[in-house]
Amino acid sequence: MLWRNWSVRIGGAALVLLLLVSILAPWLGTVDPTLFDAGSRDLRPGAAGEIMTLEGEVLKHTFVMGSDSFGRDIYSRVLYGTRVSLVVGIAAALLSVAFGVVLGLSAGYIRWLDGPLMRVMDGIMAIPAILIAIAVVALWRASLPTVIVAIAIPEIPRVTRLVRALVLSIREEPYVEAAVALGTPTPKIMFGHILPNTIAPLLVQGTYICAFSILLEAILSFLGVGLPPDIPTWGNIMAEGRVQFVAYPHNVFFPGIFLAVTVLAVNILGDGLRDTLDPKMAKRV
Partner 1 sequence: MAGDAATAEQIESIRAGLGLDRPIVVQFGLWMQKILSGDLGESFYFRIKVATLIGQRLEPTFALATLTILLAVLVSIPLGVIAAWRFGGWFDRALMGFSVLGFSIPVFVLAYLLIWLVSLKLGWFPVQGYRRLAEGFFPFLHHLVLPAVTLSVIYIALIARVTRASVLEALGEDYIRTARAKGLPELRVLVRHALANAAVPIATVIGIGIAILIGGVVVTESVYAIPGLGRLTVDAVLARDFPTIQGVILFFSFIYVLVNLLIDLSYVFLDPRIRY
By CB under 8 A, name the binding residues for partner 1.
126-131, 134-135, 137-138, 211, 215, 218-219, 222-225, 238, 242, 245-246, 249, 252-253, 256-257, 259-260, 263-264, 267-268, 271, 284-285
By beta-carbon proximity to partner 1, the closer residue of 61 and 250 is: 250
Q: How far is the CB of 168 from partner 1 (least distance, A)?
A: 21
By beta-carbon proximity to partner 1, the closer residue of 109 and 222 is: 222
Residue 61 pairs in a beta bridge with 49
On whether the CB atoms of residues 154 and 132 are closer than 8 A, the answer is: yes
Separation of alpha carbons 187 and 5, rounded Å: 36
What are the CA-CA distances from residue 30 to residues 82, 155, 157, 254 (Å)? 13, 35, 41, 15
Q: Using CA atoms in the order 146, 150, 152, 156, what is the torsion angle rounded to 10 degrees? A: 130
By beta-carbon proximity to partner 1, the closer residue of 17 and 59 is: 17
Q: How far is the CB of 83 from partner 1 (least distance, A)?
A: 18
Helices (H), 5-73: 6-24
Q: How far is the CB of 3 from partner 1 (least distance, A)?
A: 20
On whether the CB atoms of residues 61 and 49 are closer than 8 A, the answer is: yes
Residue 86's H or E segment, with its range, is helix 74-109
By beta-carbon proximity to partner 1, the closer residue of 49 and 235 is: 235
Q: How far is the CB of 11 from partner 1 (least distance, A)?
A: 10
Neighbouring CB atoms inside 10 A of 199's CB total 13
By beta-carbon proximity to partner 1, the closer residue of 59 and 257 is: 257
Q: How far is the CB of 14 from partner 1 (least distance, A)?
A: 12
